[in-house]
Structure 1
Amino acid sequence: MTKVALVLKGYPRLSETFIAQEIKALEQRGLQIQLVSLRHPTDSHVHPIHQEIKAPVNYLPEYLHQEPWRVIKALVKVIPKSTFWRLLAVWWQDFKRDRTRNRLRRLGQALVLAVELPAATQWLYAHFIHTPGSVTRYTSLLTGLPWSCSAHAKDIWTTPQWELAEKLNELTWLATCTQANQQYLQSLSATPEKVMLVYHGLDFNRFNAKTPSNISAPSNISDSVVSVDDKFSNETNEETNSPVVQLISVGRAVAKKGYDVLLQALAQLPNELNWRFVHIGGGPLLAGLKQQAIRLGIANQVVWLGAQPQAEVLAQYRQSAIFVLASKITEDGDRDGLPNVLMEAQSQGVACIASNISGIPELIIDEKTGLLVPQDDVTALTHAIAKLISDSEFRHQLAAAGQQRVTTEFSLNTTIERLAQQFGLASSEQIGVEKRGK
């Protein structure tokens, strides 16, 4: 049975449901996992799936000065090893090109991880190729264990090419979640076949639109659903007597999500349209976005729910007609890959509008399973939103087509097969044969 140390930047995180889904699915296939987190959790809630994951978590020193004796103890143990000096030579080359405390911190964390790994560990696996990838790479150099990686979005596009190329040459294989990512990483690798496309996929046992009663919201957050309904339940358009159409977006308030553009587009909607917008997610730009909504005169039509666990997110999807995500590429190159929230919304029969960047067109076929608009184009986004608010028949058509496509082509059961194969795990067919044999 394969035993793997899985390195994460932080665990658990509400914004990384796709990672939790993967961990749970690999555990079910028989992979023995030791989770390794570079940071302690900051979210006040967890998703139900986090409580189902059995893997223990080892939290490395988030900052070396907080646990100096743990770092010193590790250093004393590894100094006599020849692999330490080879690692130090590699690290020094990295440091000369990236003279930051972060680079020193990753070395210290790798030393601690190397000496604290369970004795039977056979493989190192990182989620995100930037900082978790660095800690995993350094640990591999020190221990001699092979390492692999899953790369996603920001970690790819904000990491220098020299660093990506060196990591790609050393790791055994890399999985990434969009064709755009795959092509870029393959162009940097001496062995392009190492880089494979693995969509995240959804677990449709959890995202089952046909049986919403199977998922109940925790009592400590259920009031937020009621508050949204109470605020708008009696509102209708005085001229048309039409009900409020709920729009929703789920994502952290960071620049690449384009929420500033979305608020501008909402402010330009015709007055005769009756809508409300619900946002779920935390993030550093949240306070500024709330102020922007006030300046634009739409604050009374916007509800900010903050970060929420999966049950609450599902409850809001099921009350919504349109999902909007105005993703964009930021000045430093950061961007979305293929946001799982788009798949989640489509699985619940919600019509989607999104930017036509990165891997999003791999999921949404414009005018067939959703609407795509250029990034940073307020006018185009306004027209798309207005079209779906006013044309309920077209909206329902897109929602049904999107739900059909995501459930048939983006299932976790399908995508997890490739990762299971990389770890030498039995396929679902082999597992089925074994169970029938018993």
Structure 2
Amino acid sequence: MSDLLARHRAVMPDWVALYYERPIEIVSGRGRRVTDADGRTYLDFFGGIVTNMLGYDVAEVREAVERQLATGVVHTSTAYLLRGQVELAEKIVRLSGIENAKVFFTNSGTEANETALLLATYARKSDQVLAMRQSYHGRSFGALGVTGNRSWRNNSYSPLNVHFLHGADRRLPQFAGLSDADYIKVCVEDLRHLLATATGGDVAALIAEPVQGVGGFTMPPDGLLAAYKEVLDEYGALLISDEVQTGWGRTGETFFGIQAHGVTPDIMTFAKGLGNGFAIGGVVARGELMDALHASGLSTFGGNPIAMAAANATLDYVLEHDLQANAAKLGALIIGGLREAAGRLPVVGDVRGKGLMFAVELVDPGTGEPAPALAGRMMEETRERGLLVGKGGLYGNVVRMAPPLTLTEDEAREGLGILIDSLEATNEAAK
């Protein structure tokens, strides 16, 4: 393993970070567990960054891919009719709730968000875009422009004129103690003031994650995005919901995260879990927005037959097995258990989440300040106990988790036990 690590460091960029003091190589997986090159098996609570939505070696997905491979057609491009692409688009249109919707497939969430921003700015003939503080929308030039997290931005340049809104930062002193209703009111008034002072009025869109992924699973209170849209509608501005991490029932309460706000967006982006590990992304939007672009366009690899076979099988599996309900049930079990334990652990600043998308914020027990080193310590503790988790948050002090939606109750309890043991060890080390 040390040889592979040295080879990695010799040829991969320094900014491609690796988890753990002793990085691991995952060589096989089955169900919700993976095995590393040393033969150690782990329960996976991160799923390749919210991507292996069904887990590993799922027969229905594997067989669908094998059937497509057997045809000999791995790729043709969007210059030809693609049956799997049309079938998947029909399902997504139906599930989205967007009226007269159409779908464009890409290779990633970054590309999907770039496409959504193109649609919005073209429709509104404006480069002015609103985004949320603490957000993350991808690593390309435009997507980084609407990312409100300095840790992920290499420069201040952007093709867009961007203003950032409040909405997932309730722990700031000026918002502490506010009820959901009062916080929403304050945020909406701030939006109105921003539109009146910092923009030309012709804003193209607001892009928002219903639950902020890299932001550490922070989220606005339900209803805020609907309240924002009421104001946006007055100006003709569009609402883009970035569902790259929140889609397909992961939050438990709704199939797409935005639906918890009681509003339908104009544009929705998706990626990650839909392919259960195969590269896929896309945009679903009102037909008039999607059709409006005057220049020719295509996606060489977006929506290719292999990815479509995997995605169709994955989405069918989610729906046929009602994995949204499973996420709601087991998410409540784990989040409830973590909150109960947090009461006796000063190192825990917050436990938050929806469904199988939850996080623990680590703080200095003496000052309450963000403690990224303790988050790193907790990750090492969980790894030693056989559980893989992720990290995020504006200050890098949040351990975030998104297990496969196929998680069983026994595995949920096993993972919860490991998390609590790891928090106890981290709390002890912080004394």
| Fold similarity call, TM over 0.5 | no
Report the TM-score when normalising by structure 2.
0.30
Report the TM-score when normalising by structure 1.
0.29
Q: Which has the higher helix share?
A: 1
Task: Please say which structure displays the higher CA radius of gyration.
Answer: 1
Q: Compare relative contact order (CA 8 Å, sep 6+) and give the higher one, 1 or 2.
A: 2
